[in-house]
Structure 1
Amino acid sequence: MQWMAWTMPTAIFFVAIATLLVIFTVLAIRFPETPRHGVLGMETTRGDRLFIVLLAAAFLNLAWLGLTDLSQWWGLLISLIVAIPIFRWA
C-alpha cells in the first residue's frame, strides 16, 4: 500500500470512521430504536444523524482549511461542538 502514500493522520481518520461504523452497527443491533422527529422535520435514526454529522464535519473542516490559517485542530473542535446538537435535536 505504499503507492497510496498513507500518513498517520490519514490512517487515524479512516480507523476512526471504521470504528464509528462498527460502534453504531453494534448499537443498532443491541438497542434498536424507532426513528424520531427532530428540528429537521424528518424522521432520523442514530445512523442518519451520524451521516449528517460526518457531512457537516467534512464541510466545516474544508471551509476551515480554505478560509483560515489557523490550526486544523480548531476546525475539528468546532465539528465536535456542532455534532452535539445534531445528535441531540436532529
Structure 2
Amino acid sequence: MAWMAWTWPTAIFFIVIACLLLTMTILAIKFPETPRRGILRIETTRGDRLFISLLGSAFICLAWLATFGAPLWGALIVCLVYAAAVFRWV
C-alpha cells in the first residue's frame, strides 16, 4: 500500500466517510423516511442530501485551494455550514 501514499489525514478522511455511510445505513433501518421536496423541488432522502453535501464540499475545497491556498480550515467551516444548509433545506 506504499504506492498510495497513505497519510493520517487521508486515513481520517476515509474513516469519516465510512462512519457517515454506516450512520446513514443505521438511520435508514431504524427510522425509515419518505422522500421530501426541498428548495430544489426534487425528492431527496438523507442519503441524497449526504451525497449532495459531499459533492458540493469537494467543489468548495477546490475553490478554496485555488483562491486562498493550502490551509483548509476555513473551507472546512464553509463546508459544514453548506452541509447543514443542504440537510435543512434541500
TM normalised by structure 2 equals 0.95
Post-superposition offset of 1:56: 0.6
Name the structure 2 match of 1:54: 54
Task: State how far apart, in whole Å, the 2-side matches of 1:82 and 1:2 are.
Answer: 34
Q: Does 1:45 align with 2:51?
A: no
Name the structure 2 match of 1:27: 27
Name the structure 2 match of 1:36: 36
Task: State how far apart, in whole Å, the 2-side matches of 1:5 and 1:82 are.
Answer: 29
Local SS of the residue matching 1:27: helix
Post-superposition offset of 1:34: 0.3
Local SS of the residue matching 1:26: helix
Aligned length: 90
Name the structure 2 match of 1:88: 88
**Unaligned residue ranges in structure 1 (runs of 5+):** none
Cα RMSD of the aligned pairs, angstroms, is: 1.0
Q: Does 1:12 align with 2:40?
A: no
**Unaligned residue ranges in structure 2 (runs of 5+):** none
Instruction: Report the identity percentage.
Output: 59
- Runs of 4+ deviating beyond 2 Å: none
